[in-house]
Homo-oligomer: A and B are copies of this chain.
Amino acid sequence: MIDSPAARSLRVELGSRAYDILIGPGLIGRGASYDGALRGRRVLIITNETVAPHYREPVETALAQSGHEVDTLILADGEVHKTLASIDTIAEHMLSSGYGRDTTVVALGGGVIGDLAGFAAAIYQRGVDFVQVPTTLLAQVDSSVGGKTGVNHPLGKNMIGAFHQPKRVLADVDVLATLPQREFAAGMAEVIKYGLIRDAGFFDWLEAHMADINARDPELVAEVIRRSCANKAEVVVADEREAGERALLNLGHTFGHALEAELGYGAWLHGEAVAAGMCMAADTSKRLGWLNSAQVERIEAVIAAAGLPIAPPEQTSAARILELMRRDKKVTAGTLRLVLLTDIGRAIIHEDLGAALDDTLHHYLAA
């Protein structure tokens, strides 16, 4: 049985960098949500042109009412803007407005805004505080927990960045109302991932409730967020700098990043590429004798039920995907290592892939 969803606040225990994740409706417009998370009087909200019309005003009002001096910087929307140039734009704005070290940056948006605003906060005057207000399911369950921030480089995704923990995360379920179905599904890819790598009970629960989750039943969605964040927080606390268990969070991501790069960033959403990548990882795991066909079918069924792809586009080149996978930053000393499954709820990192990886690539892709 799953815990009661009534009280939804999670503490991420990272010593001097510990912080709370608040989960529930109506959080962003309530001043109390920010209490204790803002260091100085000045707050800079960083958001984008898509999110601003919906949520800028309630956040500004809540912060102003609690006596803060609030200013909002609106960036262009899209992964294509997750660049060092945007960091320079943010720094320019902050310096010309005289922001000091006691500034708090509020990242109001999806994963791109969280990564950009978080990285800007990490390196502005060698680090100022920031608060995450994620407005997509993906950002709520994944990128707002763990402290990874950064930007893309033309030669690879997330290649420039920092570990910088937020002072608080506000996962407001009401903001998901404006989220397109395709983006909701993309967030579900990471949710399913937590079940697959470390929480078989959660996987069973998702299997049982997917239809109501897709209908965005608020109680179920809040529980999806809580249990996902709890899983991620446990992993991050055990391994803040990604030396060990944290790497298991990359299930499906080495395949997924290669697919995103090959299809062109933005053609597939990150969650869609990860969904197909998790199916490919399950296939490789089956070829190594670790999963049976019934388990792979359950995995594919849950992913399909969430409205996600269970395979990459067939015309993609296997050789090209392998080459891109070898360029992934998880590659150490030239050895390709993959996160694979030994059971539903149990993942390992494996590098002795034999022919299994090639067989998987040729099963799904063109020569």
State the CA gap A150–B125 with chains docked (Å): 9
Nearest Cβ in chain B — how far from A159, in angstroms? 6
- Chain B residues in 8 Å Cβ range of A241: 127
> Which A positions have Cβ atoms within 8 angstroms of B?
40-41, 84, 87-88, 91-92, 95-96, 98, 100-102, 122-127, 148, 150, 153, 155-156, 158-163, 241-242, 327, 329, 331-334
Give which listed residue, B87, B92, B96, B162, contacts A162 with CB less than 8 A. B162
Decide if B332 touches A100 in the complex (CB within 8 Å).
Answer: yes
Among residues of B, the one whose C-beta sits closest to the C-beta of A326 is B98
Among residues of B, the one whose C-beta sits closest to the C-beta of A327 is B98
10 more A-B contacts (CB under 8 A) besides A101-B332, A123-B160? A40-B332, A87-B160, A91-B160, A95-B159, A100-B329, A100-B331, A100-B333, A122-B162, A123-B150, A127-B241
- Chain B residues in 8 Å Cβ range of A153: 88, 91-92, 95
When A41-B333, A84-B87, A333-B102 are in contact, do A126 and B162 touch as well, CB less than 8 Å?
Answer: yes
State the CA gap A332–B242 with chains docked (Å): 34
Nearest Cβ in chain B — how far from A95, in angstroms? 4
State the CA gap A332–B125 with chains docked (Å): 12
State the CA gap A84–B86 with chains docked (Å): 11
Among residues of B, the one whose C-beta sits closest to the C-beta of A241 is B127
State the CA gap A153–B329 with chains docked (Å): 29
Give which listed residue, B125, B127, B333, contacts A40 with CB less than 8 A. B333
Give which listed residue, B41, B155, B158, B332, contacts A92 with CB less than 8 A. B155
State the CA gap A123–B122 with chains docked (Å): 10
When A126-B162, A126-B163, A163-B127 are in contact, do A102 and B156 touch as well, CB less than 8 Å?
Answer: no
Closest 3 CB pairs of A and B: A95-B155, A126-B161, A125-B329
Decide if B150 touches A126 in the complex (CB within 8 Å).
Answer: yes
Nearest Cβ in chain B — how far from A84, in angstroms? 6
- Chain B residues in 8 Å Cβ range of A91: 153, 159-160
Nearest Cβ in chain B — how far from A183, in angstroms? 25
- Chain B residues in 8 Å Cβ range of A162: 122-123, 126-127, 162
Nearest Cβ in chain B — how far from A338, in angstroms? 16
